[in-house]
Amino acid sequence: MCGIVGVVSSKEINEKLFNGLSNLEYRGYDSVGMCFINNKNFKIKKGVGKLEEVHKKVNFLRLQGNVGIGHCRWSTHGGVTKKNAHPHVDCKNKISVVHNGIIENYSELKDELIRQGHKFYSQTDTEVIAHLIEDNLKDSRIEDAVKLALNKIEGSYALGILFADAPEKLFAARNESPLIIGVGGNENFIASDVPSILSYTNKIIYLEDKEIAVLTKDKVKIFDLNGVNKNKKIHAINWSAEAAQKSGYKHFMLKEIYEQPRAIADTLNERIRNSDVVFEKEFNLKNDFLRKISRIVVVACGTSWHAALVGKFMLEELAKIPTEVEYASEFRYRHPLLDNNTLFIAISQSGETADTIAALKEAKKYGVKTLSICNVMGSSITRISDGVIYTRAGPEIGVASTKAFTTQLAVLYLLTILLAKLRKTLNEKQVKVMIEGIRKIPLQLQSVLDEDYEILKCADLYYHKLNSIYLGRGVNFPIALEGALKLKEVSYIHAEGYPAAEMKHGPIALIDKNMPVVVIAPHDIYTYKKVLGNIEEVKARGGIIIAIATDNDDNIPKKSKHTIFIPKTLYTLSSILAVVPLQLLAYHIADKLGYDVDKPRNLSKTVTVE
């Protein structure tokens, strides 16, 4: 939650810091602040609101200098006030700190520091860090003071720290919150994510937990909390800076929805060879192990959890492996039953979700093999797990996840084929059909996007409704959950997803002529006829049916108010096509309501706190 950025350069940095912060705003946007060093003094500007709003009042670009830090906040400790906005400083205004994470023992540390005479002005946990370093500076050099202070802190942090008396240096540190270092020419950066500084450099160092970095314009020194120096690899990132821009779309969310044909094509690229699925070397799991797995446990949060539910359906139906799906936040506090024949999978777009990381760490304690499915190269879960399959969605900036979700489904589908082949649960002919099916998906997605005008019509008619229900069955039940989540997140309309038949056990009471009911009803051999029955039940009670149906289905349009068609595909793959109209519906409704679609209230793109 919160974004942090910092630059130390031989040149003026104000635009770079401002742009970096603007790229990070998806992480938090209730308040914003920046600090520069001028003549061994801090110049700080901050305020409540989004970057542009505060900028209009304080003009961040008037700040000048060669070293600075910036922060956009998603509040955890302390209300949304100017005082609580970052950066935070010590008593003498000589140490300035921006922070993402939660200091769990801040209250004990604060009491102790107050006893020693420190004066606090905010309710944040972050302010403690500035005072704690100040306290340690009494008897130590700057680097040691930072190290000693961080050794006393419990909890998560990504930090940018400036010292007015060391104006050529930018300090950074991380523990369980994301932070990367960008290595430029005569300038270096810190940031919460890679895309925010991609216009300036693609050379990235990943800071590990409990590491501290000291950046000057031409050097990066890294050591751990015991003072042991670290030699770190510089990674060249191949995402382009343009990929992290809106490219003419009104919002990132819309751009990312429209990018899905490309994102899926990239995710499949070179992974299908004839009728084999081949993952890159980071997959790292041996065929012998994959043949003997007796169970798969998948953990994730939010939209990634919905992808896991679709994955369960694929893995059980086609690879015949019992699969359990858990919320990472629940799994981490249980004593799970895991053995050597369990494959543990963590799914995360960002790779930095605190609960997913914690669940993965918990699983590792049991010695099980772990695999992550992730979109962000080098992120925390990819470094902790034994193997990785990357989705290749490219940077996802819109807070509501779209292309990351469909690429997760594509990866789960490929993994299912790989396992089904190895375990001989599908014959060559069936595998060939599956492969032909996924190969068609990018083009088919394009044709779904071409129906956007129909979806826009629905948005026009129903954007003022206060509630809605999403129904689906089998592989499309998680898609009903995902459609409802998308609508809630960006339009703040109450929406619930149910397995279509379960509706009779309660939710049907909600249906009247004011209730839009989105029914995902592709043609299949499993439950199609049953879903038709469910549509009749809604219709009989006056509900407004918006159906997602397979091309050329003539039954559904007769029973529904609106029908959005998707191309014919395999049942398991219908989930990838069916979710796209639901993403568009949520987007258009939120846009019609005039909401800031890319920055929905109360949300943050990456939930790096528990």
Tell me how many degrees the CA angle 434-563-312 measures, rounded to the nearest 5: 35
> Can you spell out the DSSP letters for 364-413?
HHTT-EEEEEESSTT-HHHHHSSEEEE-------SSS--HHHHHHHHHHH
Beta carbon of residue 245, minimum distance to ligand F6R (angstroms, whole number): 20
β-strand pairing of 562-566 with 467-472? unpaired
Backbone angles phi, psi at 74, to 5 degrees: -125, 105
Give me the least distance between CB of 290 and ligand F6R, in Å please: 24
Stretch that binds ligand F6R, among 106-114, 156-164, 343-351, 429-437 (CB under 6 A): 343-351
Burial class (CB in 10 A: 0-12, 13-18, 19+), 333: exposed
Please identify which residue in 323, 382, 574, 606 interacts with ligand F6R, judged by CB under 6 A: 606
Question: For residue 103, what is the DSSP state?
Answer: B
**Binders in 381-420 for ligand F6R, by CB under 6 A:** 400-401
Taking CB under 6 A as the criterion, which residues in 304-323 touch ligand F6R? 304
Bridge partners, 32 (sequence order) = 47, 72
C-beta closer to ligand F6R: residue 523 or 605: 605
Whole-angstrom distance, CA of residue 498 vs CA of residue 472:
7
Among 22, 84, 201, 350, binds ligand F6R (CB under 6 A): 350
CA dihedral 518, 523, 525, 529 (to 10 degrees): 60
For ligand F6R, the closer CB: 304 or 560: 304
Minimum distance of ligand F6R from residue 117's CB (angstroms): 41
Q: Is position 2 annotated as part of the catalytic site? A: yes
CA dihedral 304→308→311→315, nearest 10 degrees, is 150
Looking at 2, 72, 301, 458, which residue is catalytic? 2
Identity of the amino acid at 421 = K
Q: How far apart are alpha carbons 420 and 424 in whole angstroms?
A: 6
- Cα 545 from chain centroid (whole Å): 31
Choose between 1 and 448: whose C-beta lies nearer to ligand F6R. Answer: 1
Residues in contact with ligand F6R, counted by CB under 6 A, come to a total of 15
**What is 447-509 written as a DSSP string?**
HHHTTHHHHHHHHHHHTT-SEEEEEE-GGGHHHHHHHHHHHHHHH--EEEEEEGGGGGGTGGG
Q: Is 301 in the site for ligand F6R (CB under 6 A)?
A: yes
Rounded Cα–Cα distance for residues 20 and 379 (Å): 19
Question: Which range, of 73-81, 193-201, 296-304, 571-579, touches ligand F6R by CB under 6 A?
Answer: 296-304
Place of tokens 């619930």: 496
Q: Please give the residue whose beta carbon sits closest to ligand F6R in the complex.
A: 302
Position 349 contacts ligand F6R (CB under 6 A): yes
Q: What is the CA radius of gyration of the chain?
A: 25
Choices 81-89, 190-198, 344-352, 535-543; region in contact with ligand F6R by CB under 6 A = 344-352
**What residues from 482 to 511 belong to the interface with ligand F6R (CB under 6 A)?**
485, 489
* Residue with smaller CB distance to ligand F6R, 400 or 579: 400
Q: How far is CA 413 from the centre of its chain?
A: 21
Query: Residue 377 Cβ, how far from ligand F6R at the closest point, in Å?
Result: 14
Cα torsion at 553, 559, 564, 570 (round to 10°)?
-40
The window from 197-205, 253-261, 330-338, 342-350 that contacts ligand F6R (CB under 6 A) reads 342-350
Per CB under 6 A, does 87 bind ligand F6R? no
Q: How far is the CB of 351 from ligand F6R (least distance, A)?
A: 7
Cβ proximity to ligand F6R, 468 vs 606, nearer residue = 606
Q: Is 468 an interacting residue with respect to ligand F6R (CB under 6 A)?
A: no
Q: Which stretch binds ligand F6R (CB under 6 A): 111-119, 246-254, 311-319, 350-358?
A: 350-358
Q: Which candidate in 16, 45, 255, 605 is catalytic?
A: 605
Nearest distance from C-beta of residue 463 to ligand F6R, angstroms:
19
Q: What is the DSSP code string of 12-56?
A: --HHHHHHHHHHHGGG--SEEEEEEEETTEEEEEEEES-HHHHHH
Residue 348 interacting with ligand F6R (CB under 6 A): yes
325: nearest Cα among 349, 341, 344, 338: 344
Query: Between residues 145 and 308, which has the closer beta carbon with respect to ligand F6R?
Result: 308
106 vs 206, beta carbon nearer ligand F6R? 206
* Least Cβ distance, residue 543 to ligand F6R (angstroms): 26
Q: Which residues contact 125 (CB under 8 A, 6 or more apart)?
A: 76, 77, 78, 99, 102, 103, 106, 155
CA-based nearest residue to 264, from 160, 171, 375: 375
Contact flag: residue 267 with ligand F6R (CB under 6 A): no
Distances (CA, A) of 207 to 176, 195, 346, 416, 572: 10, 16, 21, 33, 39
Nearer CB in complex with ligand F6R: 303/491: 303
Does residue 585 bind ligand F6R (CB under 6 A)?
Answer: no
Residue 458 known to be catalytic: no
Contacting ligand F6R (CB under 6 A), which of 353, 406, 476, 491? 353
- Closer residue to ligand F6R (CB): 178 or 437: 178
The SS3 of residue 596 is coil
Q: Which is nearer to ligand F6R, 537 or 610 (CB)?
A: 610
Q: Which residues are catalytic?
A: 2, 605
Which residues contact ligand F6R (rule: CB under 6 A)? 301-304, 348-350, 353, 356, 400-401, 485, 489, 606-607
